[in-house]
Amino acid sequence: MTFEQWLQSRLTAHGYAVGPIDGKIGTATIAALKAFEGANGLKVDGIADPAVVAALKASASAVPPKTMTQIPDRDRVPTIDVRQPSAIQWPRQADCMEFYGPVGTRQTTIDIPFDMRLAWARSTVVRKMTLHEKVAPSALIALQRIAEVYSAKERADLGIDIFGGSLNVRRMRGGKAYSMHSWGIAIDFDPERNGLTTAKPQARLSHPDAVSFWLAWETQGWLSLGRARDFDWMHVQAARL
């Protein structure tokens, strides 16, 4: 395991998604590193300096204890067998306060890799999205994959270029529990054609040509309420039911 792979595995273990543990330091890894730095009171510059390395060595449940002090040298592979952490499993909805902290806190912004339009003001172009720092890197990976798979015309046809909101501190409709949007861990797409109670096949994002869109999110551990319960097809969240 190279130093770069160790860095990615430790970020993942601490709850910051970087995608594959492949040693390639791309935008997702840098975004995760900056989020980790900000959350730990370190200089936010995307550089794995000694202070960052020391913080990454701290206990995280996804990596066994024997790996915590083993830092691979940049020029060699360590002789011990280091287990890479599995993909992140986001918390259940009931555990979001414990995992993500108070609603509306620890937010960051990501640059959306394609132009989106505001659902309630279609002439307004949206290029940034506010999300919780723990989920922002994984959302960026999903959006980058969507940009690769779908052309601008296809995104417009599906409505996945219509932004229905992310961070929004509020209670769930008809209840006292907080909406997943309150933590900035949920995103809505094209609410007009994927209404809260619109089921398949009426919901646009329930159609077969949307499968790759959902897979981009599901490979990052995000959940589609539509695919899980045929309900609220506009919505994807970094929390399990």
Q: Write out the E strands in 70-228.
A: 107-118, 121-132, 162-165, 186-189, 223-224
17 and 126 together in one domain: no
Judge whether residue 68 has pLDDT over 80: no
**52 falls within a domain:** yes
Give tens-digit pLDDT for 138-187: 999 999 999 988 999 999 999 999 999 999 999 887 778 899 999 999 99
pTM metric for this prediction: 0.67
Contact of 165 with 119, CB cutoff 8 Å: yes
Question: Which residues, at least 6 apart from 234, have a Cβ–Cβ distance to it below 8 Å?
Answer: 164, 188, 189, 190, 191, 194, 195, 196, 205, 226
Residue 39's closest CA among 64, 19, 66, 11? 11
The whole-angstrom separation of Cα 6 and Cα 176 is: 42
Count structural domains, the chain.
2
Over range 126-148, report the average pLDDT. Answer: 93
**179 falls within a domain:** yes
> For position 52, which CATH number holds?
1.10.101.10
Adjacency order of strands within the sheet including 162-165: 121-132, 107-118, 162-165, 186-189, 235-237, 223-224
- Please give the residue range of the domain that contains residue 115: 93-237
**85 falls within a domain:** no
**What's the pLDDT at 78?**
30
**233 falls within a domain:** yes
Q: What angle do CA 153, 159, 165 make, to 5 degrees?
A: 135
The whole-angstrom separation of Cα 15 and Cα 59 is: 12
142 and 197 together in one domain: yes
Contact of 165 with 187, CB cutoff 8 Å: yes
Which residue did the predictor score with more confidence, 128 or 8? 128
193 and 101 together in one domain: yes
The share of the chain scoring above pLDDT 70, in percent, equals 87
47 and 124 together in one domain: no
Whether omega before 201 lies within 30 degrees of 0, making that bond cis, reads yes
51 and 127 together in one domain: no
**78 falls within a domain:** no
**82 falls within a domain:** no
Question: Which residues, at least 6 apart from 58, have a Cβ–Cβ distance to it below 8 Å?
Answer: 14, 68
- pLDDT-wise least confident of 23-37, 42-56, 79-93, 157-171: 79-93
**27 falls within a domain:** yes
Over range 100-126, report the average pLDDT. Answer: 95
40 and 97 together in one domain: no
111 and 221 together in one domain: yes
**58 falls within a domain:** yes
Q: Choose one of 33, 67, 101: the last residue of a domain.
A: 67
**What's the pLDDT at 197?**
93
Residues linked to residue 117 through DSSP beta bridges, in sequence order: 125, 162
**What's the pLDDT at 89?**
82
Judge whether residue 76 has pLDDT over 70: no
